[in-house]
Chain A
Amino acid sequence: MFRALTIVSVIVVIAVVVKFGRRLAGQPVKNAAVPKLGRYPLLEALIAFAMWASLILLIGTGFLGATLWGHALCGFTTLIHVGCGALFGVSLALLAVFRAEAYNLAGPDTCGRFSTAQKVCFWVIAICGLGLIFSMLISMFRILGTDGQHLATQVHKLSALIALLATIIYAGTASKRD
């Protein structure tokens, strides 16, 4: 079921991005004054890179097995996934500190660094990240019974799927933005 849901939703989202990507990217208004955007400091860039890279690895390790081979994580993939999970959690938290203001939905849109779609995606990823982290963290403590563990796994999987879709939209709209 989850496998089918993943495949269908990913295809739909990719199609939406392809079709409506430019619109979602929110192009700047013609003749409008475009503010000069400087480069991010190295540390911040590194944190962002770590977050996106770990997110992609998490998606790869978490979804490829589940969608292509239809089985859960096993072997070294688990170790990579868990390691990347920690990196993702930490880098997402730090990035949230650094960029929360930049991704502020109340901030400038069309002439800013990020489109509204990207901002929404970032906050969706942050919320899902929280779900991802807590669903796994709580299962590591002697709190949840078997049913709770299954529920935590479901929360983890759904959060991951939503984060995956948000990532696709973020990446898709970012590439279409002038």
Chain B
Amino acid sequence: MRSIIIASGLFFAASAYAQLPKEELVKLLAEQDVRQSATGDYKSLVYLEQSEKDKADVVRELIIYRRDADDKLVLLFTKPKSEEGKGYLRLDKNLWLYDPNVGKWERTTERERIGGTNSRRQDFDESRLAIEFDPELVGEEKLGKFDTLHLKLTVKEGIDVAYPIIELWLDKATHNLLKRQEFALSGRLARTSYYPKWQKIFSESKKADVWFPGEIRIFDEIEKSNKTMIIFKSVDLSPLDANLFTKAWLESKSR
């Protein structure tokens, strides 16, 4: 009898999610965005490592600078020495790459492999899931010990993103993002990412916590032997230089 009650309870709970209207799903996405939004300025020290079969590992350290209110982002590589001063600058829809070895800027695309790894701009930038995607619920699934909501997201018209279709697995209890799969337009799976550690910091300007993934593990689904690891070592929410999100600032770092 008890098991029937539990089973019925689970069934109704599952049904409740299965019947989630689209607005509720959008709210779930917006929750992800709001949690990670810094409102004020945001700076993070990041370790990036890519392993590929028969190749030396790519290892980098970089600082992320974000001003979410203006949709601005700078990625500045600080280690190893040969990479020092290289960086990316996002202004509006443009993602610029600067290489101090040649002192030149190059406009890249959303599909740019950051620092030659399988990471993309969006892995370091603010979350814009609710703005960029339309969600639908796939169902409920078990992921390790976690009960998750499995969502399928399709990019909205006119928005350029690295992958037009993504699937998310959110912890039902906490709504933490645990797993993310990204697909090409053809439907081919390109990357699977895991978010095993979430951290939060109280922000004075936001008057709330700013969430960030402690680490992201990315597995390449096309070159199966390739994997990438992003570790967010620390976060600093102090105000940033007003001129930081300019080409001149990034150039000045290596002049």
Are A and B associated in one complex? no
Residues of B within 8 A of A (CB): none
